[in-house]
Chain A
Amino acid sequence: MNSFKKKINRQLSWLLCCLLICCFLHSSIVAQDGGNKTVSGIITNQKGEPLSKVTVLERGTKNGTTTNDQGRFIITLKFTNPVLRISMLNFVETDVTVGAQTNLSVIMKESTSIMEDVVVVGYGGVKKSDLTGSVVSVKSKELMAYPSANVVQALQGRAAGVLVQSNNGNPGGSFNIKIRGGTSINASSNPIFVVDGFVGAILPPADDIESMEILKDASATAIYGSRGANGVILITTKRGKAGKGRIEINSSYSSQEEINRLPLLNGPQFTEYIKEINPAYVGGSVNTDWQDLIFKKGKIQNTQLSFSGGTDAVRYYVSGALYDQQGIITNSSYKRFSITSNIDFTATNWLKVGLNLFARSAKTLGVRTQENTGGSGSTGVVAGAFKFGPDQPLFRPDGSYSLAVIGDPHDNPYAVANELQNETIGSLYQYNFYADATLIKNLKFKTTFGAFSNNERTGEFTPTTLNAGRNVGGDASINNEIRTSYINENFLTYANTFAKNHKLTILGGFSYQKFVNEDFSARSQSFLSNSVSFRNLAGGSVPLPGNSSLSESQLSSFYSRANYNFSDKYLLTVNARYDGSSNFSKNNKWAFFPSAALAWNMKNEAFMGNVRSINSFKWRFSYGLTGNQAISPYQTLARFSSVFSIVNNLPVNAVRPTTIANEELKWETTAQQNIGVDIGFLNNRLSFTADYYKSVTSDLLFPVPLPQYSGYSTQIKNIGKIENKGFEFVLGSKNIVGAFQWNTDFNISFNRNKVLELPNGNDIIYANAPGHMVGIANSAQVLRVGQPIGSFFGWVYEGVYQQGATFTPGAGFEQAAGGEQFRDISGKKDASGKPLNEPDGILNNDDRTIVGNPNPDFIWGLNNDFNFKNFDLNVFVQGSQGNDMLSYTLLELETLSGINNTTTESFKRWTPSNTNTNVPRLFTGRPQRVSSRWIFDGSYARIKNISLGYTLRKDVVSRLKMQQLRFYVSAQNIATFTNYRGYDPEVNYRISNLNAGVDYASYPNAKSYTVGLNIAF
């Protein structure tokens, strides 16, 4: 670091010398024009602090200078009656008539108008007032409000129309984002990330991000063509500014605990419960709280150190960030260290070049949660803690871990948490070079070349202390995945103003990107000792077949955009992108994605000129097409897969057909329209944005289930249409200004989603249930025309049968008092065999119906900032309303078939003496069945963050030779308001566009208490 800094310093001084020589030559030329008066002055901001680097220009000439670090300038003037134009970014430009003065004192006003911010859009930036699309900016301050392992987490609740959900609560876990609903059913709904122009790049930590721009409508996203349908998130990392070097330290420490627990039976209660069905059961003599044993206090340490600064010729931003999280479950952690380095050079007067570097190493220790199959060899920690008999001890008398005595012989959850080893080590290198050349006046050319390589190694070891390991003498595997991408972008930008009122910007370019995924793995069993772990696979006497694979894809694109601005009143944007992807079938590799948008700055019309209370008023309209790649490489090709087969007791080469070709596969295309309005009132103290959008995605790619007698299970096809439409409102208000400040930001979005078209109009029934819940049998959710995606599908629970009731017959359905009662809905057929949708007196699959909708009615975020003197207080609340949840956790615990522990809800169960209840009797033969009994209202409001900060007074700070010093204490997720009976409404089991609102055995989210400080030198 030191030598690097020296090098930079050397270069800086060298460039500074060059610059001074230039200035000298320049000014000597100017001086020859004959000045007659020298004026000096000081320029300050409204607080009286001197401003450096302010441009001071004698109006009508090229004669100018800039202020020094003390805010002072000297200028020799040419004209006799000179006017100085004083300008600087983020300040209101002012003209000062010099008159007879020789020593000026100028106070510059900060430009408060939010409309003047420059917003980053694809391949460029525009002033917010010139924006025609629906774009939200989230700034560094919001992103850094609380420590986050992944910056996506920090977006939650911050932007209208953006739904962020955690996939699992584990340290280092990933997040799922949906912008304006899911536009696809097969592909991920995640938007494409663009980091400093690098499409598909990996995100740097929140600390190094200046802003995130979320592009939502086709006007903004169509320039990303085939990857724009889910929205685009542009990330701008922090960069150095010319001026005095700045050193910043941001550091915080958080203590964490699990957000909630489930009320389970204790040892004696459990014994009594099991005895009801098995009187011979001899309960254990202990009372073990398994939740107590697996949960612990977690902590997060987050520290970032950055250096930034530079000269006009070279600007630098160099930052190192360390994030170290110990999870709230034993043996789970995430640690990452990253370096971000952004250097910009002004090489010549027409050429700027720069280099962004991002390197990261991360280590994750995982525990098994959200298990897909919970057989006795793969017990998960969280589900295990819920299910395992509380009457059982941690260890058996012989010192080994106890196993379940009820149901399958599961390992106890404490054993799984402590013994199973799972370690992932990732190293990432990402770099992006750019050169920006002004070719001729108004015409610029920019080329970028970027690449990343992300290498992840996962080692796993199941020792003999666990079931799965005991059976094989220890099981070790190691898996390596290398993801690489190369990107090259080249584009020309032409910008000019014609006849004063016609501003035109035209952009055109070409890009090529390649993705390579390579992985390999090895596995071996039967080791002499558990101490070997996965570090010596050759030490296993039973090697298993190794594995390797390669997948490559390419994307080639042409794109163009034109922006036309007439009189700052009428704005037109036209986008087009022509994308070709290798993933698609040979007949449909290329597709065209156009969009057009119009904005009307109504405020700039003469008739609005007198409306003082309104500062800005803009209408936006857009329509366009975007796409979704939605499939991975080689999916259009038919395929044979190898089969592990034994003949004559030896493995032989063997294959079977596994994939069917589809040569007609097309891109998914989303047609989106957007109408929006942005209004600023009362000197922009109040700002309001409203958007209405409607998007229809057609040619949906979906692995259509085939009848399995074909020998295949699915075939990818373009099958149908879905629609998302909704409203978004954003309100920003400076409620109180002055010494005491109170700002409120509120956003709320209403998305409605439905399936418009499916092949032959048939339902597609599916499930994403844990594999061991065999009763679910792939039937828990449905795609049905006219209904929202992911609707829950099952029987309607009608409570319990009472003694003497008429039992509805049906294979697999209970016919006894205390049994689960379901509604007979359908099944009756007319003479020709057509269903009449009338009850037929028999319970069977015909009686399933839609029993819930996982899509929220609306989501919202409310942020309040208070400032008083040196104190700042932030309260951020976020919520979701009207979404249903299907809880496999409760289904498993409360099916009440006596195969695992249950919740205290079981106290309400039906017995001959307790008949007034909704909870059925204990019955061993009851299958796990998706019904309305397991559908819950998942609405919640959560206090995401409360933070109180104190910034030391300027004079105190400068005595400490600092620029800023702020302490804060904060708390995250401390209160949740919900009726959901599971432990957390904000969890998702294997989330995808088809699968939302499902809860099973997730790593719980954490409550955190944080202390931190920010220092700047």
Chain B
Amino acid sequence: MRKILFPILTLFAMLTIVSCTKLLEEKPIGLLAPEGFYKTKKDVESAIFGAYGVLASEPLFGRQFVCALMFRSDMVDIGNRGTSAERIQMNDFNLDANNNMVRAFWPSWYQVIAAVNSAEAGAKTLGLSEAEINPLIAEAKFVRAMSYYHLVRNFGDIPYVDIFVSNPENIKSIAKTKESEVYQLIIKDLEFAKQWLPDTYASDVRSRPTKATAAAYLASLYLTIADYAKSYTEAKWVIDKKATYNYELETNYQDLFKADLADNLKEIIFSVDFKAKLFVGNQNDDLVAPMVGIRNTPQNGFGVCVPALKVFTSWNASDYRRFVSFDDSTLNAAGLKIGYTAFPNEKRPHIAKWRRFPGNANVDGRYSDYNYHDMRYAEVLLIAAEALAETSGPTQEAIDYINLVRTRARNWPGNPTGFPANLALAGLDKQQLIDTILEERRIELSFEWKRWYDIKRRRLGDTVFKGPNSLEPQPNFTASRDYLMPIPQTEIERNPNLKPQNPGY
């Protein structure tokens, strides 16, 4: 009898153990499930913040995306030509559809979009009144609009997704949305944002959008699609309401590029916020400083994003902005000052905007405290000037906007300068004015990833890369191909409906 009891008791004991746990049901602890995630506005906010986290990551504003835009321009060349071929391809207009810079930032942009799509969908399930929830929906729409705005300028026709994807089959075989249509969808989102976003946030942070942020992006977008009247209207709206939104040109141009001050600048309309020395994987990891830093000096830079010498030499030495933008000398290991001709590797002045004052960063400037500005008030002034010049030719109003920017530029502490002089209306024709504004943008917004977009929207490529006054000649530049980047080959392989590839790739 004992013998028979033995297995029975064993089985009984085992069944007791097993029945304690609800068999085979997964109860993940510490993981977040989307079902039932959105319960309060705070949850919606955390998904929007998720999008900001991806913006502030190495593939986007931390390095790949902004460096790609710098390389495309005539303002930044490759320094160390021993660097990865992907960068050289990007710079030398020799891109192919497998380029890894593109492959790095393309998915990240869409991760930003997916996060805010989810936030928007979640917000709509909360059953709150428009007044309560629409500001958050507007914020989600703004981030989506801003993301597609960058994508459409680089890729033209693109897959456009504005729903939360819970079943990929739904979007797996969509075709590309036409460039012009994408612009209209962006405008729709920005208009909603302009209507519903708040005027300000706690601590007046500039890494979240306000009504005026939406207006500034509308101004920029209309300028891009050459709808100058609307561009002027939106820019003017921002300028007129600058007191409401607490916008002002910083008195010292250098302050815009001091990481320690980055969170308290009145000039900033939208920036991507990085905090020094904290990161998780590639999130909050910025490598712009090492990319532009001087190699084999105490800067410990990679010397990769280095302007062609002519960018420096053609720039008036009395311009404070040249001083802020460039390191034409550095201290060597022995603490002695060496001029750029004595730099160990790339014997050219290097970018200082994103290197000189990185705050509490790594020695090479990585994990800095910089916030990377995507829109600042000076640009809105120049947008207004350019749009107005297009619609009305030279006017005092346009000249005044430019001179606001120039006046600030002359404020070189300890080294007063008369350069750049104020622009006068007299004797200026429309084209001259527009050229002057574009040139002003090149200088004022140098190394802030605006130049390539200007070259593209104004179709300046053949002039600036192949013309006699080219700062950075690129004989390989091909206008029929290079205004757009190739869509990553893997995307086309996964969804052949994305064909055709952009021309020339």
Contact = CB atoms under 8 A, between A and B. Distances in A.
Nearest to B55: A645
A707 B6 contact: no
A646 to B, nearest CB: 4
A640 B115 CA distance: 10
Nearest to A489: B14
Contacts of B110: 708-711
A707 B46 contact: no
B474 interface: no
A154 B46 CA distance: 53
Interface string A553-570: 110100000000000000
Contacts of B131: none
Interface in B91-118: 92, 94-101, 103, 106-107, 110-111, 113-115, 117-118
Given A639-B32, A655-B32, A660-B166, A925 B54 contact: no
B7 A643 contact: no
Given A844-B97, A845-B97, A712 B168 contact: yes
Nearest to A400: B333
Contacts of A713: 107
Nearest to A525: B277
Interface string B481-505: 1000010111101110011000011
Contacts of B25: 582, 586
A775 B32 contact: no
Q: How large is the interface on B (under 10, 10 to 19, 20 to 34, 35 or more residues)?
A: 35 or more
A13 B201 CA distance: 84
A711 B85 contact: no
B386 interface: no
Interface stretch (B68-76, B202-210, B214-222): B202-210
A549 B31 CA distance: 9
A645 B53 contact: yes
Given A777-B98, A925-B94, A470 B3 contact: no
Given A638-B166, A639-B33, A655-B32, A775 B85 contact: yes
B53 A644 contact: yes
A118 interface: no
A346 B46 CA distance: 64
Contacts of B33: 637-640
Contacts of B126: none
Contact of A705 (B17, B84, B171, B490): B490
B113 A778 contact: no
A634 to B, nearest CB: 5
B364 interface: yes
Given A580-B23, A711-B165, A774-B85, A647 B278 contact: no
Interface stretch (A231-239, A327-335, A405-413, A498-506): A405-413
A772 interface: yes
B50 A643 contact: yes
Nearest to A642: B32
Contact of B103 (A467, A777, A927): A777
Contacts of A652: 46, 49
B296 A405 contact: yes
A473 B101 CA distance: 29
Nearest to B282: A644
Interface in A565-605: 580-583, 586, 589
A899 B81 CA distance: 8
Interface string B154-197: 00001101001111100110000000000000000000000000
B114 A638 contact: no
A643 B23 contact: no
Contacts of B24: 554, 556, 580-582, 589
Contact of A707 (B88, B171, B504): B171
B30 A550 contact: yes
A977 interface: no
Nearest to B32: A640
Interface in B9-49: 10-11, 14, 17-18, 21, 23-35, 37, 46-47, 49
A774 to B, nearest CB: 4
Contacts of A660: 165-168
B111 A556 contact: no
B468 to A, nearest CB: 25
B199 to A, nearest CB: 16
A409 B295 CA distance: 8
B366 interface: yes
B207 A447 contact: no
B118 A492 contact: no
Interface residues of A, number: 106
Nearest to A636: B26
B89 interface: yes
Contacts of A447: 7, 10
A471 interface: yes
Q: Which of A525, A649, A661, A715 has the most CB of B within 10 A?
A: A649
A645 B49 contact: yes
Contact of B52 (A472, A580, A646, A705): A646
Nearest to A706: B168
B80 interface: yes
Contact of A445 (B7, B81, B84, B488): B7
Given A646-B284, A812-B89, A779 B490 contact: yes
Given A646-B52, A648-B263, A661-B166, A710 B82 contact: no
B464 interface: no
B233 interface: no
Given A398-B333, A648-B203, A653-B46, A811 B277 contact: no
A1004 B164 CA distance: 48
B31 A512 contact: no
B363 A472 contact: yes
Interface in A753-782: 762-763, 765, 772, 774-775, 777-779
Interface of A: 350-351, 376, 398, 403, 405-409, 435, 437-440, 445, 447, 467, 470-473, 488, 490, 492, 510, 512, 514, 525-526, 542, 544-545, 548-554, 556, 580-583, 586, 589, 633-634, 636-657, 660-661, 705-713, 715, 762-763, 765, 772, 774-775, 777-779, 810-812, 833, 844-845, 897-899, 924-928
Given A405-B296, A471-B363, A706-B494, 9 more contacts: A407-B82, A439-B7, A640-B33, A643-B53, A648-B201, A648-B207, A707-B168, A811-B505, A927-B89
14 contacts: A438-B3, A445-B10, A471-B364, A638-B35, A644-B53, A649-B275, A660-B166, A710-B172, A711-B114, A845-B489, A897-B85, A924-B81, A927-B85, A927-B86
Interface of B: 3-4, 6-7, 10-11, 14, 17-18, 21, 23-35, 37, 46-47, 49-54, 56, 80-86, 88-89, 92, 94-101, 103, 106-107, 110-111, 113-115, 117-118, 158-159, 161, 164-168, 171-172, 201-203, 205, 207-208, 263, 273-275, 277-281, 283-284, 295-296, 300, 302, 333, 344-345, 362-364, 366-367, 481, 486, 488-491, 493-495, 498-499, 504-505
